[in-house]
Structure 1
Amino acid sequence: MNNLNKQSHAFLRFAIDAGVLRFGNFTLKSGRQSPYFFNAGLFHTGAQIAQLGRYYAATLVSSTLNYDMLFGPAYKGIPLAVATAIALAEQHGYDVPYAFNRKETKDHGEGGQMIGAPLSRRVLIIDDVMTAGTAVREAVNLIEAAGAKPAGVIIALDRGERGYRHSSAVNEVQTQFGIPVVSIAHIRDLIQLLREPSAAHFADAATRAALLDYYRTHGVDSLAD
């Protein structure tokens, strides 16, 4: 197992232990019945968000993304951008500016929609998951309106599912905007993790079979057994 696989598996174990990645029967916005659900909003302690930021930062450092600042779309992207910026500075020596937006433009005080560093040069978007790509599209519009350039997107988990156009939201964003999308982990990493004997307590055989069947049905690419 290479270092990237080890990092993905460590992150998934962390998410399961925190109750952020859960197994069961969940109805998604798409109407699909999923055997698992990931909600980064359930990382809600200081230690958890600090560790999450370290996973994002480590993924960025090991990637080929070129960026000058971070942008976290409101609301879930806000703590992600802050935690990642801190981890990049403390763990890797990269002091990167960050910004995030308000859902509603403030008309008093300093006013405006943006908080943090001015959007400029190459801006990396940080989010948790990408279902329809709506938050990313809104972020790209904000970045370009400021005269900056979207440099890419990093998410925690890539579900790797086909959308209504038979392509995943990740692929659609990459194609539409010509920017790379990287993730800390992919659903294939989860399937691989659950095959390990040490992960048997995470999910029983029925859950593992349901997850495999779900990806074979909805996955954007084939899955080797």
Structure 2
Amino acid sequence: MSNKESFLLECYQLGIIKFGKFTLKSGIESPFYVDLRPLASDPKILKKLSNYLLELISIGNFDLICGVPYAALPMATAMSLESELPLIIKRKEAKTYGTKKLIEGIFSKGQNCLLVEDVITSGKSLLETIPEIENEGILIKDIVVVLDREQGGKEFLEEKGFKIHSLFNITEVCEILRKNNLISEEEIARINDFLKGNEVKFEKEKRLTYEQKLENSNNSFSKKILEICIEKKSNLIASADVLTTKALLDFAEKVGPNIVALKTHIDILIDFDFDETILPLKELAKKYNFLLLEDRKFADIGNTQELQFSNGIYKISSWADLVTSHVIGGETSLDCFLNVGVIAILGMSSKGTLTNA
């Protein structure tokens, strides 16, 4: 008997796999149920498991290790202790207090993280976890899994470009248990029939064309944007962060034929004059059929916001097709923008931003 077989039998004694009739979270009735959480209650087995999982990969390729919450957290912790790879912790939900972090630990952008999962079925939990870690600038290419249920999740993730390293699959587990007279041929047959009929199928994401989106849209402003996209075969918005009127108009002239919209910060112009700046800018927008997006990031109460939008030297309401606005003032604070498109500011890239607070 191999060490790996012997180890599986040790784990089996903890009740990690049960056979019978079990209703899964998906509502499907399964002839077997896998729960690896009891492994965390046996330190010796958990340590052995961590070493078996570490043997599946090359430690030198990774800077960090992280377990998919919650069952894989003790596994990742044990692997971290054995390998001295720094551990980061992924929460299922960000805290509503304190730092409100989703990813806990010390890490840097660009570091390579080894992801640990207990069981892979559809890969859904991994697909939910991976983007949230990658949003922090951490790279994920490899995933180690204790048990592959062989229902398509591994293949699906591999198609997405991830490398899956599994310690066991359910076929291998059944063979070892049958060899040791722990399950019957009938139970194996039921499991095989179940696997054949319950492979997780993923429909490829259907992306609508702009023409289809236009046909389905009932918003006049959305239709206007889509019509420009279709006509110009473009979805580009150019950012005109310049300081003079000449630079703004020259830039608009240059990129105008190829863009859907021009994004301005009109209040940073040092020589702004409505007649000399806005009127020729509107002519260029008409000439090249692009929209004007003023990135004003409005953030005030409704009445004040309306005055900022319509009055002052910029008279934004008279020329902007779209504006940006924070939504902290509530829905009614946006009423003044009924005749233009509004892009809501829900997050910012600046360090220490409070938009997610």
TM-score bucket (shorter structure): 0.7 to 0.9
Q: Pick one of 4, 24, 32 that aligns with 1:28.
A: 24
Q: Given residue 169 of structure 2, which amino acid in structure 1 is its aligned partner?
A: H
Aligned residue among 51, 61, 64 for 1:69 = 64
Matched residue of 1:98: which SS? Answer: coil
Provide the alpha-carbon RMSD of the alignment. 2.5
Partner of 1:182 in structure 2? Answer: 165
Q: For the structure 1 residues 152 and 21, does the alpha-carbon distance in structure 2 shift closer, same or farther, using more than 3 Å as the test?
A: same
> Which structure exhibits the higher relative contact order, with contacts defined as CA atoms closer than 8 Å and separated by 6 or more residues?
1
Structure 1 CA distance for aligned equivalents of residues 108 and 187 of structure 2: 44
Count of residue correspondences: 198
CA distance in 2, matches of 1:67, 1:127: 16
Paired with 1:184 and 1:140, the residues of 2 have a C-alpha distance of 20
Q: Over residues 36-57 of structure 1, what are the superposed CA-to-partner deviations in whole Å (9 max), with x where a residue is unaligned?
A: 1111223352xx2542343233
Report the CA distance between 1:125 and its aligned residue: 0.9
Q: For the Cα contact (< 8 Å) 1:99–1:119, is it kept in 2?
A: no
Return the TM-score normalized by structure 1.
0.76
Match of 2:107 in 1: 118
> What's the secondary structure of 2:113's corresponding residue?
strand
Instruction: Provide the C-alpha distance between the structure 2 equivalents of 1:115 and 1:123, rounded to a whole number of angstroms.
Output: 13
Letter in 2 for 1:136: L
CA separation of 1:110 and 1:17: change in aligned 2, threshold 3 A:
same
Residue identity opposite 1:63 in structure 2: I
C-alpha distance in 2, partners of 1:63/1:34?
A: 31
Structure 1 gap segments, 5+ residues each: 89-93, 162-167, 221-225
For residues 216 and 136 of structure 1, do their structure 2 counterparts lie closer, same or farther at Cα, with a shift above 3 Å needed? closer
Cα 1:27–1:119 change in 2 (3 A) is: farther
- C-alpha displacement of 1:110: 4.2
The structure number with the bigger radius of gyration is 2
The 5 Å alignment of 1:72-221 reads 72-86=67-81, 88=82, 94-118=83-107, 120=109, 121-161=111-151, 168-176=152-160, 178-196=161-179, 199-200=180-181, 202-218=182-198
